[in-house]
Amino acid sequence: MVEINLDLIKKYDKPGPRYTSYPTAPQFNESFTNESFLDEIIRTNNEDNSPDLSLYFHIPFCDTLCYFCGCNMIISRNRERIYKYIDYVKNEIDLLRTYLKPDRKVVQVHWGGGTPTHLKPEEIIELKSFINQNFEYKENSEQSCEIDPRELAKAHLEALREEGFNRISMGVQDFNEKVQKAVNRIQPEDMTRQVVDWVRELKFDSINLDLIYGLPHQTVEEFEKTVDTIIDISPDRIALFNFAYVPWMKKHMALIKEEDIPAAEIKLDILKMSIEKLTGAGYEFIGMDHFAKPEDELSIALREKKLYRNFQGYSTYPGTDLYAMGITSISQIGNTYAQNYKNEKEYFECIDDGNFPVEKGYQLSEDDILRREVIMKVMCDFELKYSNFEGKFRIDFKDYFSYGLNNLKAFTEDDLIELNDDGLKVTNKGRLLIRNIAMNFDGYIERKEDKAKYSRTV
């Protein structure tokens, strides 16, 4: 059971990375080109035991603007524009297939956005069937899609299920009508329940519901009603995100009045109440902002220390090569990251020229590879064993990470971690501050090379 000490959370609360990658995206640079990406694709496909594949497809289009949204999205109802985009994603698949060994199998597919179900059912079938024709899946592969109930018909879900999707993720944010109006997302409870009923009727394996705390007009008492309702709906997984108000990065967030956003103390009280309610209802705290039922794969992976993080968050598929297609999407292949162009024009032009639409990326150094593995273990296992890294990377762990380990003394004094001669273990009290703990192993922070602006750690 995670322990919640608000005084300690206030003490350590500051901006920091979420570590869906290491190095983090602000370190990506334009010296990494489509040629760099192609070289890594060829190298990893020439290996004797090439990893399984994870596929991500970015569908950026939405019907309406949610003022809180931090995603890369396009508000458009222009069907010709949407159909052209689908065609280019198919062209990107064709380009990739040229270089992939035919026997490499897919264990994970995710459609994110934007709103993938802004596509019509027939468009969903067309794109997914094209993907299915070009890739071979392993048995029991995980195939998930993000949906928006506000523009959803049962036919959308039927199309997804027909084409092999077995997991659904849906945003709820808050059921309070005043909050919904303030963020321009009107989504009544009965609409959400209807979609959940359809998902269960169509026998999807799992459903995840997203909540956001820190939205305008939220109070502990009112958000508790939303949490109670979510518990009653009983999804398999729940994500509880902290609203990051960054109008300098996402200009549309300025449509939210800053004075309507709850004070930091109220946000923390909302977080404490929500965690206590969800864990009290039987959900396991996976880490950071994720909860799952005890029998869920995430919970099992946490207990068996097989949890992993990538650009989609927590995952049960470590060691895969992640190929991401569509604008702004980020691939993770071997020891490289590659991010596609963020606008359609350059994305289309690259593909027309027969090139991967890479705008920037990163080639990891030996130091990056080591630190990535250390941070991943901290974030996912809540513990480290130094000797596991010393033999593999030929280092003296305490010497190599002397800067970070020295900084951790304050964490031990506050009972957030336990240190011993061969490792550390995060206490139940420290699990909410896992990002702060992981930051002590970040070389870019240590060397003061990271100037990026991040969301707050809690």
**pLDDT tens by residue, 188-205:** 999 999 999 999 999 999
The residue-averaged pLDDT of 43-72 equals: 94
pLDDT, residue 57, reads: 98
Q: What ranges do the domains of the chain cover?
A: 1-23+366-458, 26-323
Homologous superfamily of the 26-323 domain (CATH): tm_1862 like domain (3.80.30.20)
What is the β-pairing status of strands 313-315 and 74-75? unpaired
Q: Is the pLDDT at 456 greater than 80, yes or no? A: no
CA dist 292 and 299 (Å) reads 6
Q: What is the pLDDT of residue 453?
A: 77
Q: Are 230 and 170 contacting, i.e. CB atoms less than 8 angstroms apart?
A: no
The band of 140, judged by pLDDT with boundaries at 50, 70 and 90, is: very high
Rounded CA gap, 89 and 351, in Å? 9
Check: CB of residue 437 under 8 Å from CB of residue 411: yes
Reduced 3-state DSSP string for 367-402: HHHHHHHHHHHHHHHCEEEHHHHHHHHCCCHHHHCH
Say whether 26-323 and 1-23+366-458 share the same fold.
no
The CATH architecture annotation of domain 1-23+366-458 reads Orthogonal Bundle (1.10)
Residue 458 has pLDDT above 80, yes or no: no
Q: Are 76 and 119 in contact (CB under 8 A)?
A: no
The Cα 234–Cα 257 span in angstroms is: 33
For residue 417, give the nearest of 401, 404, 428, 406 by alpha carbon.
Answer: 428
- Two tokens at 2? 């995670």
Q: How far is CA 316 from CA 221, 260, 296, 297, 351, in A?
A: 35, 38, 11, 7, 32
User: Tokens 């305490």 belong to which residue?
Assistant: 398
**Tokens 């990107």 appear where?**
92
Q: Residue 287 — pLDDT band, cuts 50, 70, 90?
A: confident
